[in-house]
Structure 1
Amino acid sequence: MDLAVLPAFLLAVVLISASPGPAMALVFRRAALEGFRPTVATVLGLEAGLYLWALAAGAGLAALVAASETAYLVLRVVGAAFLVYLGVRSWAAALRSRDAGDGADAPDTRQPRGRWPSLRAFGEAAAVQLANPKAAVFMFAFYPQFVSPDQPLLQTTALLALLQVAVETVLYLGLAAGVARVGAWFRRPAVRRRLEAITGTVLIALAGRVAFSPR
């Protein structure tokens, strides 16, 4: 790996990771409503999806997705549909909470549903990342800028991706820890309803951007 490119690579990764998007929305929502520990699975799922896309870019598979209109369209539709599903689910949770007539001040201490909530959170986050065609195009355009022609593409991309995963993991876990510190306020039923509604709206809007924005 060419160490001279690392400062520029790390700066680009920090700026990219800090930009709003589906990943940040998922991390914020889970940390606010469920606390720090359940959010770890979401962060790991996002980074697993990111790393798989990076390996695909190194192997040339991301280039095929970027070049194929059919593959890009399929991923775009699947990604948008999944984001809509998550957005509708957030809105449904907000409406259920309103209909239940929960108190406005007492924190909601209910645990996440399902037998394996962490595994479900990991799978959802990985699916959001893998079903995003923008990720394929981004990886295909981003990583080759930091790989010299005389370096092995796949191995160098894998190492750079590990750095990106490490940086993003630290940033997202830091965000989760900060949000979780005031989690009791977010879990007050009135605040929770608003947060679920806002998150649902943001995810549906992001689905529209995935579905209709140009490459």
Structure 2
Amino acid sequence: MDPTTLLAFAAAFLVFAASPGPDNMTIVARTLSHGPAAGIAYGLGMVAGILALLVLAAAGLAVVAREMGTAMTVLRNAGAAYLVWTGIRLWTAEPVLPTARTDGRRPGLAASVLTGLALNLGNPKMPLFYLALLPNVVGTVLTPPQVGLLAAVIVAVEALVIGAHVLLAGRLRRLLRTRAAVRRANRAAGGVMVGAGVAVVAVR
């Protein structure tokens, strides 16, 4: 696979990954509410789901994944329900200053990873994205080394996009110096999570 092809795939995937959507909104909201580790954890699950679908597409199973309507709907709705539930909890939570969190715990990291994974495995747009892009950019047959190169590009692009969102949200979080500011941030993040959950179900 030549560098021009990889650059074309990277550019197309960067536009896809950086576009506003439930994933990026959730990364920002979880970083604001629980810190950078929570945002990164969701991003890790998201990337795992994207890579799993890349392997399916490369194996010629993207159409099968697209046709698994019931399983994908269950995954998507479960992830959406979790986002709505955590958003409501965050909206009603007692505000706690970030500096007052002294126990070092990072709540919900495993749940964040699993939510990101479920939402992306259940996202019908990902197989369609691969079906539309891969044949036109890299051809209809992919060897394991080529899949590895594409996976590396995806990880690099997502590291850039996720890192930028976590960095921005982390800087905003450091401005939370009063309980009133924390309450407003919690409600903003909670509202974003609820909106993201609704968008996951509504936008197909």
**Normalised by the size of structure 2, how large is the TM-score?**
0.82
RMSD: 2.8
Once residues 118 and 197 of structure 1 are traced to their aligned partners in structure 2, the CA distance between those partners, rounded to angstroms, is 20
Percent sequence identity is 24
In structure 2, relative to structure 1, the CA distance for the partners of 1:77 and 1:110 (3 Å cut) is: same
Measure how far apart 1:87 and its partner are: 1.6
In structure 2, relative to structure 1, the CA distance for the partners of 1:85 and 1:42 (3 Å cut) is: closer
- Aligned residue for 1:10? 10
Paired residues of 2:73 and 2:122 also in contact (CA < 8 A): yes
Which residue identity does 1:168 align to in structure 2? E
Paired residues of 1:107 and 1:185 also in contact (CA < 8 A): no
- Aligned residue for 2:134? 143
In structure 2, relative to structure 1, the CA distance for the partners of 1:177 and 1:84 (3 Å cut) is: same
Deviations 1:62-110 (A, max 9, x none): 12223x3xx1344135313421331233123313x3xx5x5xxx73555
- Structure 2 unaligned regions, length at least 5: none
- Aligned residue for 2:57? 57
Paired residues of 2:120 and 2:126 also in contact (CA < 8 A): yes
Measure how far apart 1:118 and its partner are: 2.5
Once residues 127 and 185 of structure 1 are traced to their aligned partners in structure 2, the CA distance between those partners, rounded to angstroms, is 32
Q: Out of 61, 69, 75, which is 2:72 matched to?
A: 75
Measure how far apart 1:154 and its partner are: 4.6
Measure how far apart 1:49 and its partner are: 1.1
Q: Does 1:182 align with 2:172?
A: yes
**Normalised by the size of structure 1, how large is the TM-score?**
0.79
Paired residues of 1:55 and 1:158 also in contact (CA < 8 A): no
Once residues 37 and 17 of structure 1 are traced to their aligned partners in structure 2, the CA distance between those partners, rounded to angstroms, is 20
Q: Does 1:166 align with 2:156?
A: yes
- Aligned residue for 1:157? 147
Once residues 184 and 40 of structure 2 are traced to their aligned partners in structure 1, the CA distance between those partners, rounded to angstroms, is 25
Q: How does 1:1-215 map to 2 (within 5 A)?
A: 1-66=1-66, 68=67, 71-95=68-92, 97=93, 107=97, 109=100, 117-148=108-139, 152-185=142-175, 188-210=182-204
Which residue identity does 1:24 align to in structure 2? N
Measure how far apart 1:50 and its partner are: 0.8
Measure how far apart 1:196 and its partner are: 0.6
Once residues 92 and 115 of structure 1 are traced to their aligned partners in structure 2, the CA distance between those partners, rounded to angstroms, is 16
